[in-house]
Amino acid sequence: MTGIGVVAGAGGGFALTRVVGSYIQNVQLPGALPVILSAAVLLVAAVIGSLLPAARAARVDVVQALRAE
């Protein structure tokens, strides 16, 4: 899901830069490195944000959790 958002955001950013560049002179694309680095940071944050709760949930005993309800 995060990968889809990163790809859509990068594509939208490049398209918006092209549109703005047709109205305003000297607008340039940021290059590949900043886009790749920001995408990597977002993907790492998404992985950490989903692995920590999953690891905590994996430690719970299923039988005790069902009895508690």
- Of 1-5, 25-29, 50-54, 62-66, the range with the lowest mean pLDDT is 25-29
The answer to whether 27 and 33 have CB atoms below 8 angstroms apart is: no
The whole domain housing 56 covers: 2-68
Is the pLDDT confidence value at 51 over 80? yes
Q: Kindly report, residue by residue over 11-46, the tens digit of the pLDDT.
A: 888 888 788 878 887 767 677 788 788 888 988 998
Specify the number of domains making up the chain: 1
> Distance between CA 13 and CA 28 in Å, rounded?
12
In sequence order, which residues have a C-beta less than 8 Å from that of residue 14 and are 6 or more positions away? 29
